[in-house]
Structure 1
Amino acid sequence: MHAAMSDSEQGKLSFQATWAMAVGGMVGGGIFSTLGVVIEVAGPLAWLSFVVAGLVALVSGYSYVKLAESYGEGGGAFTFLREVHANSMAGATSWVLIVGYVLTNAVYAFTFGEYLGHVFDFGPWMPRVAALAILGVFIVLNLRGAGEAGGVEIFLVWFKLAVLLGLATFGLMQWDVAALSRGTDGGSYTSALFGAATIFMAYEGFQLLAYDYDDIRDPNRTLPRATLSAIVVVIAVYVAVALGVAMLIGADKIIAEKEVSLSIAGEQAFGMTGLVIVTIAAAFSTGSAINSTLFATARLAHLVAQNQELPAVLDHRNRANVPDRAVIGLGLASAVLATFGTLSSLVEAASLAFLVTFAVVNGLACYRGAGVRLLTGLGCVAASITAGALVVRLYFNNVASLVCFAIVVLVAWFVRPWLLKHVQTESPSQEK
């Protein structure tokens, strides 16, 4: 006999809503942004890249939920590390993680602009202007307190899944294995590992749930079920899309049009109707991902500032109780990167940031005995190896991005303590 739901549980996220947020956070911009990037790296084994990256994400998700269960709170890597008094590592990791989120939002905005620009071909300036516009819209919405996902998220998630699976099914029905390697160098298991490392950011969205622990109904039961099942579903969707779309239009076409490859596939399958539907799905996906990521990142930055690991200027909320300075600063940083970056460089840099973070979280879970140590330990090793593979790839193919990321890490570890000594970090009560 089930007891009536307590007042404290009413209004909290159900399993379905939690699951939808996890799937939406991953699919939001993941496959729309990364398919062309991974096929360019892994060729016909792009599907295997999604499996490898997905397994690392699955173990990492297990570590996240076990740490949340162990400590009885969310907050992600920053909070978990502070619980074991690893304050320096918590501060440095949080800086790297925030940079990863900024890069991710830049990828989403870039992708939004490219898909919109492909339909409304007003010139080469259109995608960048659209990217800036969508970031501006969600900065304003977040400042007004409209950043949290509503019930419409469940509908949007099922709409995105229906579009992606419909496209994948149509492509798989063609069953043209030769199309998987057309225009590529063939692919190998090594290239599949490099591919997994390159597009790992396609799976990072599930960890946004770590910041919503207190808003989830019966979190110790709901969070693990929703998180892990969502990652498994997303792996299956990504594999199906990687195979189906490549069989539909060929790997060479995906690489040549990697910024908008799914729109090309939609048009190939269903004509103008397919083009419009896929573009709408991409716009809604990337838009909702920008919204949720900006909201969660601003909340994380505010938490870090409250704990004196960021300047006190970010420890401020406006009358809508929104961390306004964090929202504006993070949104503007993403806008700069979306304007001047390239899709591959943004995706790779974001992936490296999350691989480093997940390696730390898996290592912490293993150290604390949260969950099965063998599993979390393997997760730490797997994330570290995958991060190492991406470092090697960047060294030979995009050393500028590697240097920039190295600078971020050096600043987080060595400049951060000096900076925090010379700026105000302890904030008085702020006016709301």
Structure 2
Amino acid sequence: MSESLQRRLGTGDAVFIGLGSMIGAGVFVAFAPAARAAGSGLLLGLAIAAVVAYCNATSSARLAALYPASGGTYVYGRERLGEFWGYLAGWGFVVGKTASCAAMAIAVVSYAAPELGQPWRGAFAAAVVLAVTALNYRGVQRSTLAMRVIVSITLTVLAAAVVTIFATGDPQPSNLRLGTSGVLEAAGLLFFAFAGYARIATLGEEVRDPARTLPRAVPLALGITLVVYAVVAVALLMRLGPDALAATTDPVAQAVPGWLSPAVRVSAAIAALGALLALVLGVSRTTLAMARDGHLPRGLAAVHPKFGVPHRAEVTVGVVVAVLAAVADLRSAIGFSSFAVLVYYAIANASAFTLGRVIGGLGFAGCVVLAFSLPLASVLAGAGVLALGALAYLVLSKRDSAAA
């Protein structure tokens, strides 16, 4: 059985995978908690998060072109910094993005069935995850086609929402007064929304001409997403104000007239579904890479002979996410995911810095600052899980050394 993935994806496919991850997470999930942290200062937080994300994207794109294999920073850290740092990056990515997957599944249910109570809400979220896993199992080409459709629908509805807000919503420019309190916390939470471009790098083994495709696709997806975020954030703040934005769970739907609200809710559910689709792809590819190296069970490295996907890794990730989605809380999932993924990108930037890239040093510093600016509970939970992963690595390394 071959364990090589097929190079099927072009630049457009890679860009849509990144857009599907970022736009689904950011527009419909991250603005309300960011407003709770910083009020209208979330705009400054958005700018800071974008700068850090740009550094990360640049570092990731250059490293992905140099090491075009599944696994992203797991591979880069291993090759540039050593086995342990690659493992820690991979562990951080898998646990952090598993939490992100659960958050997206919960978001789908929250928008699609807001009145549904437990335990049916959890069962619905788990069913959503299993359906996405089944789609990915059939092959990445089907997934990228779905991503194009989802992103197109989401952007169309968002454009209609923004135009309607400015045309009929009585926007108040005075709501854009910026403060500095809580800005770094808001930036850390908003970074959750930008992190989707990593899906492009983790698909490095499945893109055509990765040395050319990846450095183009990552910054392009990030730039488009930043423009969308900025426009929507300004519209929401001007229409709702920072206090109302912080208090709502569905700000875009609340900001538009009633006749447009159902379309926004449907679009939000679809966008979160698209993010989940891309997230499961990325986590399963990193799981594949770690399994190949023995850091996870080697059976997870199998690639399906017909569909050309890491089917065991995808099924395993899908089952774990389904369980989490059935029991997890959305806000805690976002905070935990942000901390773990910022650690992941800190290692990516450190890896790029070894290539003489000054931007890698800036990105590393930004990731560390944002990670420790998150709510204390998120920092403690994230650090604890990463420490457990590091301990497991050390124990297994000693066991392997003793066996040798």
Bin for the TM-score computed over the shorter chain: 0.7 to 0.9
Cα distance, 1:339–1:73 mapped onto 2, change above 3 Å = closer
Structure 2 gap segments, 5+ residues each: 1-5
Q: Is residue 365 from structure 1 mapped to residue 365 from structure 2 by the alignment? A: no
CA contact (8 A) 2:135 2:143 kept: no
Query: Alpha-carbon deviation of 1:73?
Result: 4.7
Cα distance, 1:284–1:94 mapped onto 2, change above 3 Å = same
1:335 to 300, 317, 322: 322
Between the aligned partners of 2:201 and 2:146, the Cα distance in structure 1 is 21
Higher relative contact order, chain-length normalized (CA < 8 Å, sep 6+): 2
More deviation in 325-334 or 75-84? 325-334
Q: Is residue 222 from structure 1 mapped to residue 213 from structure 2 by the alignment? A: yes
Structure-1 residue corresponding to 2:19 = 23
What value does the CA root-mean-square deviation take over the aligned residues?
Answer: 2.7
Query: Alpha-carbon deviation of 1:13?
Result: 3.1
Structure-2 residue corresponding to 1:65 = 61
Query: Alpha-carbon deviation of 1:126?
Result: 4.9
Structure-2 residue corresponding to 1:4 = none
1:83 to 62, 69, 79: 79
Query: Alpha-carbon deviation of 1:176?
Result: 0.7
Structure 1 gap segments, 5+ residues each: 1-9, 182-186, 424-432
- SS at the partner of 2:35? helix
Query: Alpha-carbon deviation of 1:220?
Result: 2.5
Cα distance, 1:284–1:310 mapped onto 2, change above 3 Å = same
Cα distance, 1:19–1:314 mapped onto 2, change above 3 Å = closer
Cα distance, 1:115–1:72 mapped onto 2, change above 3 Å = closer
Cα distance, 1:285–1:147 mapped onto 2, change above 3 Å = farther
More deviation in 72-81 or 129-138? 72-81
Structure-2 residue corresponding to 1:275 = 261
Between the aligned partners of 1:124 and 1:410, the Cα distance in structure 2 is 33
Structure-2 residue corresponding to 1:39 = 35
- Equivalent residue letter for 2:325: A
CA offset digits 1:157-176 (Å, max 9, x no partner): 23212222332233344331
More deviation in 80-89 or 347-356? 80-89
Aligned residue pairs total 393
Between the aligned partners of 2:308 and 2:210, the Cα distance in structure 1 is 24
Cα distance, 1:290–1:66 mapped onto 2, change above 3 Å = same
Structure-2 residue corresponding to 1:309 = 295
Structure-2 residue corresponding to 1:252 = 243
Query: Alpha-carbon deviation of 1:98?
Result: 0.3
Cα distance, 1:125–1:180 mapped onto 2, change above 3 Å = farther
Query: Alpha-carbon deviation of 1:190?
Result: 4.0
Query: Alpha-carbon deviation of 1:351?
Result: 0.8
Q: Is residue 380 from structure 1 mapped to residue 374 from structure 2 by the alignment? A: no
The sequence identity of aligned pairs, in percent, is: 27
- Equivalent residue letter for 1:129: A
More deviation in 133-142 or 47-56? 133-142
Q: Is residue 140 from structure 1 mapped to residue 129 from structure 2 by the alignment? A: no
Query: Alpha-carbon deviation of 1:229?
Result: 2.2
- SS at the partner of 2:9? coil
Query: Alpha-carbon deviation of 1:145?
Result: 4.0
Alignment of 1:157-176 (within 5 A): 157-173=151-167, 174-176=170-172
Query: Alpha-carbon deviation of 1:359?
Result: 1.2
Structure-2 residue corresponding to 1:403 = 380
2:44 to 30, 48, 53: 48
Structure-2 residue corresponding to 1:412 = 389
Query: Alpha-carbon deviation of 1:239?
Result: 1.4
Between the aligned partners of 1:240 and 1:54, the Cα distance in structure 2 is 14
Structure-2 residue corresponding to 1:200 = 191
Query: Alpha-carbon deviation of 1:26?
Result: 1.0
Between the aligned partners of 1:169 and 1:66, the Cα distance in structure 2 is 37
Q: Is residue 210 from structure 1 mapped to residue 201 from structure 2 by the alignment? A: yes
- Equivalent residue letter for 1:380: F
CA contact (8 A) 1:113 1:129 kept: no
CA offset digits 1:119-168 (Å, max 9, x no partner): xx344655433212201212333344468523343343232122223322
